[in-house]
Amino acid sequence: MTALEALVRVTGPRGERILPIEALYRLPDSSPQLDTNLHPDELITAVDLPAVPFAARSHYLKVRDRNSFAFALVSVAVALDLYSNGNIREGRIALGGVAHKPWRMREAEAALAGQKADERAFQAAAEELLRDAKPLRHNAFKVELARRSIIRALTTAAAIT
């Protein structure tokens, strides 16, 4: 939903408000007990997905330790809008399982624009997205796992006709 820029409708005593899904989640900062920007008396009542041209050429990849574990080590949601010649008009990439909230990097998405939808472009986007990754002692493996997962998800989305 982050890659497709969903909107979250929230209702509480002060009425309804609409948040971009990226604004729903928060980094821990000084309040690590809070995962979202919801007020204590608010409830999510709907999620709206905008009609975007590349939603049909999208893919979600979830990498887990085992099928029985619900939480992803790394997840990748991608969407591509291609020109008729196979070049990328626009791309979206969101990572899960690597931070406190779904992670997008618009610079990596912008690097896809105008490129041929191929492994070279997908590798470059993955490198840009992970350029400043700061793994911790016991999760450094996630950087390479994320890199390979981004390339795989983009390759899968590009092949959808």
Is 111 in contact with 98 (CB distance < 8 Å)? no
Clarify whether residues 111 and 36 are in a common domain. no
Q: Which amino acid is at 147?
A: R
Residue 100 pLDDT exceeds 70: yes
Q: Assess if residue 40 is contained within a domain.
A: yes
How many Å apart are CA 21 and CA 6, to the nearest integer? 6
Residues 42, 75, single domain; the answer is no
> How do residues 1-26 score in pLDDT, each as one tens digit?
888 889 999 999 999 999 999 999 98
Regarding whether 64 and 133 lie in a shared domain, the answer is: yes
Question: Whole-model pTM?
Answer: 0.86
For 96, the token pair is: 């899960």
pLDDT, greater one: 160 or 159: 159
| Number of domains composing the chain | 2
pLDDT band for position 97 (50/70/90)?
Answer: confident
Residue 117: domain span: 58-159
Per-residue pLDDT tens digits for 106-134 = 899 999 999 999 999 999 999 999 999 88
Q: Give me the phi and psi of 139, to 5 degrees please.
A: -130, 20
Residues 116 and 42 in one domain: no
Is the same domain home to 62 and 36? no
Residue 110 lies in a domain: yes
pLDDT, greater one: 155 or 67: 155
For residue 101, being part of any structural domain is answered with yes
What's the rounded Cα separation, in Å, for the pair 113 and 92? 10
Which CATH number covers residue 78?
A: 3.30.390.50
Instruction: Please indicate, yes or no, if residue 1 is contained in any of the structural domains.
Output: no
Nearest to 81 by CA among 51, 42, 41: 51
Same domain, 16 and 83: no
Beta bridge partners of 156: none
pLDDT at residue 84 tops 80: yes
pLDDT in tens, 21-74: 999 998 888 888 888 999 999 999 999 998 887 778 999 999 988 766 678 899
